[in-house]
Amino acid sequence: MNVLIIGQYFPPDLGGAATRAYNIAKGLSLNECKVTVVTAFPHYPDGKVPKEYKNKFFKVDSLGKIKVIRTFILPLESKGLFKRLMLFVSFAVSSLFVLPLVGANPSILVLLPSLFYGMVKRKPVVSNVDDLMLEDLYDLNLLRKGSVFSKIAEHFTTALFSKVEAATPISPGYVNTLTGYGVDKSKIQVIIGGVDLNIFKPKFKRDPGGKFSVLYSGAFSRLYNFEQIFKAAKIVEQLDDGIEFVVQGKGELLSSMLSKVNELKVKNVRIIDKTLNREDVAKLLGQADALILPLMDLKKPYRGISSKLYEYQAVGKPIICCCRGLPGDYIKTTRSGLVVNPGEYSVLAKAVLELKSNADSAREMGENGRKYVESEASIEAVGLKIKKIFERITEAKD
């Protein structure tokens, strides 16, 4: 089976969308599908396009057996509504011009400009719903619900979803929103993000006698509240000098993060302003003692589940999840960490101290997480589920 994946983000871009696109592509490839990916030049989150893509409109790469066609995108930092919109539009347009490079694929994954490809190729379109774009804009106060623009966007979104043969949201929390956009519930199947277990696997610390390390790795985006980490670090600093907090990644919040660390005068926080490839991220996670997901307080429960949690679980480390909603419920259900309400930095500090002082409990949490992703969240299993959806809808069309 030939499958075309269209999406703006793909590694080495940071973020959940890039991770899930990679996992789906590799998962399908492992299930004997011939996979082509149409994506943008690497750009997220800082808008810096690598030199090898400069002065080019597209470039054909490969990732193992996966063909990757990268197209032009504006070199803008993903910051604010206008820049995000410009990034989206520039990729949506440029991706259409490589259509002649794409064969007659029986199935197309991800929405817009997939609908155009589907119309030209006369093939079914499946929308993999990584996030609820409009709802995220509302939650981050980048767009006001009920405004003229939001009403136009909602109408446009409903029109797009009416054309898909199936939708595969990554979280059960997205189902009601999708049905609200007119997607028939029979066309919806939740398929979690998954993780590459051959890359993300348990590793021993290089320096087991060193400091107890609490790590975040990923984008410095507005979905996260890093101040709660820094304030918790300040409390911990006064109680135990054998603990350090490490925050690695890139993104629009970097300057405010550095300012806050200087303001608080914390000595046990290390910020690594660097983008790492997937293998190096896995190594970094393996060197930590505990991993943290510091989501911001949206004043309502989270509906999505970050793909980062599957990677955290895969390396066999205990997780501290700062959030209300499905991510926290997931950690509790899988017994793979501790859950703290977002913003409650004193409770977060207590959770860190608890994990350090209870090594057996922390190890058990890490083992629980690894066992769960091995049985439920491998990319092979995710790829097989999506392949079966493609087979079902293509057979129905024949």
Q: Within 10 Å of residue 200's Cβ, how many Cβ atoms? A: 24
E strand or H helix at 68:
strand 66-71
First to last CA, the chain: 15
Query: 3-class SS at 48?
Result: coil
Residues 17 and 8 sit within 8 Å (Cβ to Cβ): yes
| Predicted pLDDT of residue 112 | 60
Stretch 56-64: mean pLDDT: 90
Q: Is the pLDDT of residue 115 over 90?
A: no
Residue keyed to tokens 């997780």: 319
| Across 128-149, average pLDDT | 79
Residue 291 predicted with pLDDT over 60:
yes
* 397: confidence class by pLDDT, cuts 50, 70, 90: low
Q: What is the DSSP string of 164-232?
A: -SEE--SSGGGHHHHHHTT--GGGB------B-TTTS-----S-TTS-EEEEEEEE--TTB-THHHHHH
* The predicted structure's pLDDT at residue 327: 93
pLDDT digits (tens, 9 = 90+) for 329-345: 999 999 999 999 999 99
- Please determine, for residue 111, whether its predicted confidence score (pLDDT) is greater than 60: no
Q: What percent of the chain has pLDDT over 90?
A: 51
359 pLDDT band, cuts 50/70/90, is very high
Q: Which token pair is 334?
A: 């899988």
- Report residue 245's pLDDT band, with 50, 70 and 90 as the boundaries: very high
Binned at pLDDT 50, 70 and 90, residue 233 comes out as: very high
Q: What is the CATH number of domain 212-376?
A: 3.40.50.2000
CATH number of 2-194+378-397: 3.40.50.2000
Per-residue tokens: 317: 């480390």
| Average pLDDT over every residue of 286-311 | 91
212-376 has the same fold as 2-194+378-397? yes
- pLDDT over 70, % of the chain: 95
Whether residue 100 has a cis bond before it, omega within 30° of 0:
no
**For residue 85, how far is the Cα from the chain centroid?**
19
* Average predicted confidence (pLDDT) for the chain: 89
Cα–Cα distance between 284 and 215 in angstroms, integer? 9
Structure tokens at 52: 């090898």
Nearest to 99 by CA among 158, 44, 58, 63: 58
Q: What is the pLDDT of residue 351?
A: 97
Q: What's the pLDDT score for residue 110? A: 56
Give the integer Cα–Cα distance in Å for 66 and 24. Answer: 11
Residue-wise pLDDT for 149-186, tens only, equals 888 888 888 888 888 888 888 889 899 889 988 888 99
pLDDT of 127 above 80:
yes
Tell the residue number behind the tokens 């926080």, with chain if given: 269
Where is average pLDDT lowest: 120-129, 230-239, 335-344?
A: 120-129
Average pLDDT over residues 56-69: 91
* Dihedral-angle region of residue 89 (phi above 0 means left; psi in -120 to 50 means alpha; beta otherwise): alpha
R_g of the chain, CA atoms, integer Å: 21
**What are the residue ranges of helices labelled H in the chain?**
16-30, 80-94, 114-121, 133-139, 148-161, 175-180, 227-239, 254-264, 278-287, 307-314, 326-334, 345-357, 359-376, 379-397
The DSSP bridge pattern shows strands 58-63 and 66-71 to be antiparallel
Question: In this structure, what DSSP letter does residue 4 have?
Answer: E
Over residues 347-366, the mean pLDDT reads: 96
| pLDDT confidence band for 29 (50 / 70 / 90) | very high
Q: Which residues contact 244 (CB under 8 A, 6 or more apart)?
A: 211, 212, 213, 214, 268, 269, 270
Please state, in angstroms and as integers, the Cα–Cα distance from residue 105 to each residue in 4, 10, 23, 314, 352, following that order: 6, 20, 19, 33, 49
Could you state, in order of their start, the residue ranges of all structural domains in the chain? 2-194+378-397, 212-376
> For position 130, what pLDDT does the model report?
82
In tens, the pLDDT along 179-219 reads: 988 888 999 999 988 899 999 999 866 565 679 999 999 99
pLDDT at 151: 85
Tell whether the model's pLDDT for residue 100 goes beyond 70: yes
Q: Is the pLDDT of residue 126 over 90?
A: no
130-to-96, 292, 303, 310 alpha-carbon distances in Å? 21, 21, 11, 15
